Chain A
Amino acid sequence: MRHDTIERSVNLMMVLIILAVSIGGLVELIPLMYSSEANEPAEGIEVYSPIRLAGRDVYVREGCYNCHSQMVRPFRSETERYGPYTTAGETVYDRPFQFGSKRTGPDLARVGGRYSDAWQRLHLQNPRALVPESTMPTYAWLEDRPVDPELLTAKLETLQFLGDPYTDEQIASAAAEVEGVSEMDALIAYLQGLGTNRRNRR
Chain B
Amino acid sequence: MPAFWHWFIAIGTVVFIIWCAWLISWSAKQGPQNVADEDLVGHKWDGDLEEWNNPAPKWWLYLYFITIIWGVGYLIAYPGLGAFEGALDWSQHNQYEAEMAAAAERYDPIYEDFAAMEFEELSRHPEANQLGASLYASYCTTCHGSDARGAAGYPNLTDDDWLWGDSEAQIVSTIANGRVAVMPALAPALGGDEGTANMVRYVRSLSGIEEADSGAASMQPMFVALCSACHMADGTGNPMLGAPNLTDDVWLYGSSSDAIMTALVHGRNGVMPAHGDLLGTNRSKILAAYVYNLSAAERQAD
Q: Is the CB of B277 within 8 A of A35?
A: no
Taking CB as reference atom, which chain A residue is nearest B2?
A: A34
User: CB within 8 A of B138: which of A5, A81, A129?
Assistant: A81
Segment from A22-30, A57-65, A154-162, A181-189 that makes contact with B: A22-30
With A1-B30, A16-B23, A37-B1: A30-B8 Cβ-Cβ less than 8 Å: yes
- Asked whether B142 is an interface residue with its Cβ less than 8 Å from the other chain, the reply is yes
Q: Is the CB of A2 within 8 A of B29?
A: yes
- Shortest distance from the beta carbon of B64 to any chain A beta carbon, whole Å: 12
User: CB within 8 A of B142: which of A27, A83, A115?
Assistant: A115
Please indicate the chain B residues that have their CB under 8 angstroms from the CB of A103 in the complex. none
The answer for the CA separation of A75 and B269 in the assembled complex, in Å, is: 36
The answer for the CA separation of A1 and B35 in the assembled complex, in Å, is: 7
Q: Is the CB of A83 within 8 A of B29?
A: no
Please indicate the chain A residues that have their CB under 8 angstroms from the CB of B35 in the complex. 4
User: CB within 8 A of A201: which of B6, B27, B30, B278?
Assistant: B278
- Shortest distance from the beta carbon of B157 to any chain A beta carbon, whole Å: 15
The 8 A CB mask of B1-44 against A (1 = contact, 0 = none) is 11001101100110010001001001111110011010001000
- Asked whether A137 is an interface residue with its Cβ less than 8 Å from the other chain, the reply is no
A residues 40-93 in Cβ contact with B at 8 Å: 74-76, 79, 81, 83, 85
The answer for the CA separation of A201 and B280 in the assembled complex, in Å, is: 8
- Asked whether B151 is an interface residue with its Cβ less than 8 Å from the other chain, the reply is yes
- Shortest distance from the beta carbon of B273 to any chain A beta carbon, whole Å: 6
Segment from A116-124, A141-149, A166-174 that makes contact with B: A116-124
Q: Is the CB of B8 within 8 A of A4?
A: no
Q: Is the CB of A36 within 8 A of B273?
A: no
User: Secondary structure of the B side of the interface?
Assistant: helix
- Shortest distance from the beta carbon of B8 to any chain A beta carbon, whole Å: 6
Number of contact residues on A: which range applies? Answer: 35 or more
The answer for the CA separation of A173 and B79 in the assembled complex, in Å, is: 48
Please indicate the chain A residues that have their CB under 8 angstroms from the CB of B281 in the complex. 202
Number of contact residues on B: which range applies? Answer: 35 or more
Please indicate the chain B residues that have their CB under 8 angstroms from the CB of A35 in the complex. 1, 5
Q: Is the CB of A115 within 8 A of B143?
A: yes
Please indicate the chain B residues that have their CB under 8 angstroms from the CB of A130 in the complex. 142-143, 151
Q: Is the CB of B31 within 8 A of A1?
A: yes
Q: Is the CB of B142 within 8 A of A3?
A: no
Q: Is the CB of B5 within 8 A of A34?
A: yes
- Asked whether B218 is an interface residue with its Cβ less than 8 Å from the other chain, the reply is no
Please indicate the chain A residues that have their CB under 8 angstroms from the CB of B23 in the complex. 16
- Shortest distance from the beta carbon of A110 to any chain B beta carbon, whole Å: 9
Taking CB as reference atom, which chain B residue is nearest A3?
A: B27
The 8 A CB mask of B78-111 against A (1 = contact, 0 = none) is 0000000000000011011001100100000000
- Asked whether B53 is an interface residue with its Cβ less than 8 Å from the other chain, the reply is yes
Q: Is the CB of A1 within 8 A of B99?
A: no
B residues 255-281 in Cβ contact with A at 8 Å: 269-274, 276-281
The answer for the CA separation of A81 and B45 in the assembled complex, in Å, is: 60
- Asked whether A31 is an interface residue with its Cβ less than 8 Å from the other chain, the reply is yes
The answer for the CA separation of A156 and B272 in the assembled complex, in Å, is: 34
Q: Of B34, B138, B272, which is in contact with the most chain A CB atoms at under 10 Å from its CB? A: B34
- Asked whether B191 is an interface residue with its Cβ less than 8 Å from the other chain, the reply is no
Taking CB as reference atom, which chain A residue is nearest B23?
A: A16
User: CB within 8 A of A1: which of B55, B138, B151?
Assistant: B55
Q: Is the CB of A200 within 8 A of B16?
A: no
Taking CB as reference atom, which chain B residue is nearest A116?
A: B271
Please indicate the chain A residues that have their CB under 8 angstroms from the CB of B96 in the complex. 74-76, 79, 85
- Shortest distance from the beta carbon of B133 to any chain A beta carbon, whole Å: 16
Please indicate the chain B residues that have their CB under 8 angstroms from the CB of A6 in the complex. 27
- Asked whether B153 is an interface residue with its Cβ less than 8 Å from the other chain, the reply is yes
- Shortest distance from the beta carbon of B36 to any chain A beta carbon, whole Å: 10
The 8 A CB mask of A111-143 against B (1 = contact, 0 = none) is 001111111000000000111000000000000
The answer for the CA separation of A16 and B26 in the assembled complex, in Å, is: 14
A4-B53, A34-B5, A202-B281 provided; 6 other pairs, C-beta below 8 A?
Answer: A1-B37, A23-B12, A31-B5, A75-B96, A130-B151, A201-B277
28 residue pairs of the A-B complex, CB under 8 angstroms, read: A1-B31, A1-B56, A2-B30, A3-B27, A3-B28, A4-B31, A4-B34, A26-B12, A27-B13, A31-B1, A31-B5, A31-B8, A31-B9, A35-B1, A74-B95, A75-B99, A76-B100, A76-B103, A83-B277, A114-B273, A116-B269, A116-B270, A116-B272, A118-B153, A119-B271, A200-B277, A202-B276, A202-B279
